[in-house]
Amino acid sequence: MEIKTVGVVGAGLMGSGIAEVSARSGLRTRVAEAGEDSLAAGRKRVERSLERGRQGGKLSDEDVEQISGRLSFSTDLGELADCDLVVEAIVERLPDKMELFAKLDAIVPERAILSSNTSSLPIIEIARATRRPDRVIGTHFFNPAPVMKLLEVVRTIATSDQTLEETRDLGEKLGKRVIVAQDRGGFIVNLLLIPFLNSAVRLYESGFATKEDIDEGMKLGCGHPMGPLQLLDYIGLDTALFVCDALYAEYAIRDYAAPPLLKRMVAAGYLGRKSGRGFYEYEAAETL
């Protein structure tokens, strides 16, 4: 099956970014969101991104017009009925995702692939909510989706070879470098990344080094584009805590256990860039 029409459920930071990538790649793209305000915010986020591309000379007026023409936005899941693949990018709660997949299963054609952008939840549990577990797969995009080149495709024990290959083909059409992971907590990237980030928090928490020296050490000593504490602020400390908890629940390994400081900062509302304060302070909270 050639994927020509893509649906995205969720118009937040990740969902709107995935939708933009899809439309930029020449695909008809339907975006669905539960509330009008969230939907409008997602649309504006895409429009701002395209305008930045135009002002920066990466997109022409014609490009922006064509990309915008491929996008549609609705609060009605029924608008996804003609999609070949639907990407779920809603809140990281398993019951919510299972409920959504059950609804999508009844709406989209039998041929359609249902995928989740989850970064840590088990895809097979989500697939159980459908009558097509062989057509369910993980498509883990990275933030910001229009910029980051990686797509982590997650295959469950029930995912068919055809579904994997069609999803891989789509990822390459979107201009992504596709890597394939097993359906285990954290997949590839977070399985390796979370212990590193937790170690940085523990190092800072113990008073061993300043946050600036920890970040500069990893940037200048290891060639990382961003230090670990800066990266946590960018990811969102609440998101990082959720992933830590999910990984620790699956593996019961101390490296995945959230450091006390991370928990306290989330409890205080210090979530990073999106709240205006995390390990560092920012002039204004990011608009998500």
HEC assignment per residue over 227-273: CHHHHHHHHCHHHHHHHHHHHHHHHCCHHHCCCHHHHHHHHCCCCEC
Phi, psi torsion values for 31, nearest 5 degrees: -110, 130
Q: Does residue 168 share a domain with residue 37?
A: yes
Domain region containing 245: 193-267
Cite the beta strand spans of the chain per DSSP E.
5-9, 28-32, 71-74, 85-88, 113-116, 136-141, 150-155, 177-182
Mean pLDDT of the chain: 96
Q: Does residue 128 share a domain with residue 95?
A: yes
Q: How confident is the model at residue 1 (pLDDT cuts 50, 70, 90)?
A: confident
Percent of the chain with pLDDT over 70: 99
pTM for the predicted model, two decimal places: 0.92
Closest CA to 261 of 227, 222, 232: 232
Q: Does residue 222 share a domain with residue 90?
A: no
Q: Does residue 168 share a domain with residue 239?
A: no
- Tell me which of 251 and 288 has the higher pLDDT: 251
**CA distances (Å), origin 37, targets 40, 43, 78, 128, 214:** 5, 10, 19, 31, 40
Return d(Cα 130, Cα 42) in angstroms, integer. Answer: 27
pLDDT digits (tens, 9 = 90+) for 22-77: 999 999 999 999 999 999 999 999 999 999 999 999 999 999 999 999 999 999 99
Residue 288 has a pLDDT of 46
- With a cut of 60, say whether residue 79 has pLDDT above it: yes
Residue 33 has a pLDDT of 97
Domain boundary among 141, 156, 182: 182
**Helix pair angle (228-235, 211-222), 10° resolution:** 100
Phi, psi torsion values for 23, nearest 5 degrees: -65, -35
One-letter amino acid of 284: A
Q: Does residue 125 share a domain with residue 16?
A: yes
Q: Does 22 map to a domain?
A: yes
CA dihedral over 218, 191, 22, 101, signed as positive or negative:
negative
Q: Does 187 map to a domain?
A: no
- The two tokens of residue 68 are 């915008």
Mean pLDDT for the stretch of residues 6-24: 97
Q: Does residue 160 share a domain with residue 51?
A: yes
Cite the active site residues.
119, 140, 152, 190
Q: Does residue 236 share a domain with residue 101?
A: no
Q: Does residue 39 share a domain with residue 17?
A: yes
CB 141 within 8 A of CB 14: yes
* CATH code of 60's domain: 3.40.50.720
Neighbours of 232 (CB within 10 A): 26
* CATH code of 244's domain: 1.10.1040.10
**CA distances (Å), origin 10, targets 6, 15, 31, 97, 272:** 13, 5, 7, 11, 22
pLDDT digits (tens, 9 = 90+) for 91-122: 999 999 999 999 999 999 999 999 999 998 99
Q: How many domains does the chain have?
A: 2
pLDDT digits (tens, 9 = 90+) for 164-178: 999 999 999 999 999
pLDDT digits (tens, 9 = 90+) for 239-250: 999 999 999 999
| Long-range contacts (CB closer than 8 Å, 24 or more residues apart) made by 254-257 | 255/194, 255/195, 255/198, 255/199, 256/186, 256/194, 256/195, 256/198, 257/198
Percent of the chain with pLDDT over 90: 96
Q: Does residue 176 share a domain with residue 197?
A: no
CB 91 within 8 A of CB 60: no
Residue 286 has a pLDDT of 60
Mean pLDDT for the stretch of residues 180-197: 96
At 130 the three-state DSSP class reads: coil
